[in-house]
Amino acid sequence: RKEVEQDPGPFNVPEGATVAFNCTYSNSASQSFFWYRQDCRKEPKLLMSVYSSGNEDGRFTAQLNRASQYISLLIRDSKLSDSATYLCVVNPSTGFQKLVFGTGTRLLVSP
Amino acid sequence: DTAVSQTPKYLVTQMGNDKSIKCEQNLGHDTMYWYKQDSKKFLKIMFSYNNKELIINETVPNRFSPKSPDKAHLNLHINSLELGDSAVYFCASSQAPPMTGALSYEQYFGPGTRLTVT
């Protein structure tokens, strides 16, 4: 079983739609969780951290369910510029920052 | 002002050659990393250095040798290149994590080096 699993997509949605991505992780001792965004042929960039209580940043909402080992990202009112690959990222250890990346979910927002 | 820079951006070389990729960060971070992203877009950590000291080595073939002359630089030297080494290599940096506790800091990635071995 992969340490971090995501549906690769692509998710094709029209502008203005709401879309949700899910991610599961295998290590129940994992401590830190993130969503990174990667545009085509670019480097990954942090989109948001994921906190146990859930957190929101503008149109983006992240949720963590430790019992189910599940992370989600909700994007409301999708924009064309949201088209990218969204990487679910987990730090399975304390101390050193060994981030484990999912393979990403590709989002395509069309006019 | 580039935070994490890598050179070269593209590298095309033949099997058996030796090549190096350089990475520099101007963020004042203590920790630097090398990642490999393969053709299936899977991003996997290779090495991590904290204050010039190797702290993570993810069972990478010993043809790959990282070198950190100072905490702002982490270079990657690859000997005897193989076809399977073709990938995009990303350098990244972050603040040093606390030795205990769960907090992780954001990692800042360089633009990547696209290595093609023919």
What is the maximum span of chain B, computed from C-alpha positions, in angstroms? Answer: 45
**B66–A contact, CB cutoff 8 A:** no
Report CB contact under 8 Å: A42, B99: no
Please write the tens of the pLDDT for every residue from B59-103: 789 999 999 999 999 999 999 999 999 999 999 999 876 554 545
Report CB contact under 8 Å: A94, B106: no
> A8: distance to nearest CA of chain B, Å?
10
Residues 6+ apart with CB under 8 A from B80: B16, B17, B18, B63
The label of the residue with tokens 């004042």 reads: B28
In chain B, which among 8-27 make CB contacts under 8 A with chain A?
A: none
What is the maximum span of chain A, computed from C-alpha positions, in angstroms? Answer: 44
The label of the residue with tokens 């709401």 reads: A18
Q: Which of B104, B107, B108, B109 to mutate to test the interface with A (most CBs of A within 10 A)?
A: B104
pLDDT of residue B58: 84
Contacts of B55 in chain A (CB under 8 A): 96
Closest by CA to A95, choosing from A1, A19, A10, A32, is: A32
Residue A96 DSSP code: S
Contacts of B110 in chain A (CB under 8 A): 43
Each residue's pLDDT tens digit in chain A (111 positions)?
788 999 999 999 999 999 999 999 999 988 889 999 999 999 999 999 998 888 999 999 999 999 999 999 999 999 999 999 999 999 887 556 788 999 999 999 999
- For B114, the closest chain A residue by CA position comes to A41
Contacts of A94 in chain B (CB under 8 A): 100-102
Instruction: State the Cα–Cα distance between residues A26 and A68, nearest whole angstrom.
Output: 10
> B38: distance to nearest CA of chain A, Å?
10
pLDDT band, residue B54 (cuts 50/70/90)? confident
Burial of A73 from C-beta contacts in 10 A (0-12 / 13-18 / 19+): buried
Instruction: State the Cα–Cα distance between residues A12 and B99, nearest whole angstrom.
Output: 42
User: What's CA B29's distance to the chain center, in Å?
Assistant: 15
